[in-house]
Amino acid sequence: MAELSENDVRQWAAWEKAGMVGHIRYLYRFEIPGRQRNTIIRYCTGSDSVTWGGEVYSPHPCKHDSVKRDASADTTSVSLAATKFWLTAVFEGTIKRMNVTVMRYRVELERAVTLFTGVANKYSLNKNIMTIECGSAYEAGEAMLTVYYTQTHCNHDLYSPYCGMNFDATKHVIPAGQWRKVSSRTIDLKGNFFLDQVYWKDCLVVYDVEINDEETEEHILFETDNMAQAIGRNSIMTRYAISGLVDPFKTDLIIAPNCCLLLERCRDVMGNLSRACAWPDMPLFNPTATDLANNQNRGGPTGPPGRTPYRFGKY
């Protein structure tokens, strides 16, 4: 990793000093949701650690800009040193699922107040400095499924309480040593385990990576997941590259079935029809009135629906 320039060193020093003015420190909590565990990193400004809410925040060169408010949401950005953890989070593509909390801590009161909570939606990386941009609310286009998608496709997140599927009940653990990487995206399974190409289609591939945070010198278990792009009898091609930090002889691989939100897959493959949230036979148009489902005045498109982004083939 590139060393900080003299200018960057002065900048980090100024940020840390600013964090101590008036006995005020800033606390930063980053949480990446996982299927089995969440990866949580806690940083603070200043030169010594802070304990708040039963959690320890470790010194780290961090800063945030002012919280900006527009008509729909608050936004801010947080800049920090790009350690191995952050570079791995970028590589795995999980950083955009991260929850960010910024707190102001009064030293003499030993009390913190929350300034901002939000979700990362963009990042930039310049030499050794990473800037994470956050919004306090999901953009409307990501938070809501268009009406005609929810009519023909389920809008449940698989393994959510509403779907009712149980991750632990449907997952399969492939022990360390029973799989190997044959390329940056392809996994071969050993032994007598063979994949049902319908059931495991587009499955989740979950694994933990142990990362040493250079700043805090603590080992962090970072859970990441990927999706299968293609399934063979004993091979998985993932959509994204598998981190070079993953050792097949030390890491268990967990695979879990995924869902493309079609009623047919819920009924024929997942066996969960009673909990399905889809109405494929509901008409999209009222022939005696206007297009109520997709009325443009309500923010929806007009005309018949196009191909859904959630369709991955027949199932």
What ranges do the domains of the chain cover? 6-142, 167-256
Q: For 119, which DSSP code?
A: E
Say how many C-beta atoms besides its own lie within 10 A of residue 307's C-beta: 6
CATH of domain 6-142: 2.40.10
pLDDT confidence of residue 148: 57
Regions of the chain with pLDDT less than 70:
1-4, 8-9, 11-22, 71-72, 137-151, 214-216, 280-315
Q: For 184, which DSSP code?
A: S
Whole-angstrom distance, CA of residue 233 vs CA of residue 200: 10
Q: Are 40 and 33 in contact (CB under 8 A)?
A: no
Say how many C-beta atoms besides its own lie within 10 A of residue 114's C-beta: 11
pLDDT in tens, 280-302: 666 555 545 444 444 434 333 33
Whole-angstrom distance, CA of residue 151 vs CA of residue 276: 11
Residue 230, CB-side half-sphere exposure with 13 Å CA sphere: 6
pLDDT confidence of residue 312: 35
pLDDT confidence of residue 11: 67
pLDDT confidence of residue 163: 87
pLDDT confidence of residue 229: 93
Whole-structure pTM over 0.85, yes or no? no
Whole-angstrom distance, CA of residue 209 vs CA of residue 243: 9
Phi/psi of residue 23, nearest 5 degrees: 60, 35
pLDDT in tens, 90-105: 888 889 889 999 999 9
Residue carrying structure tokens 């005020």: 24
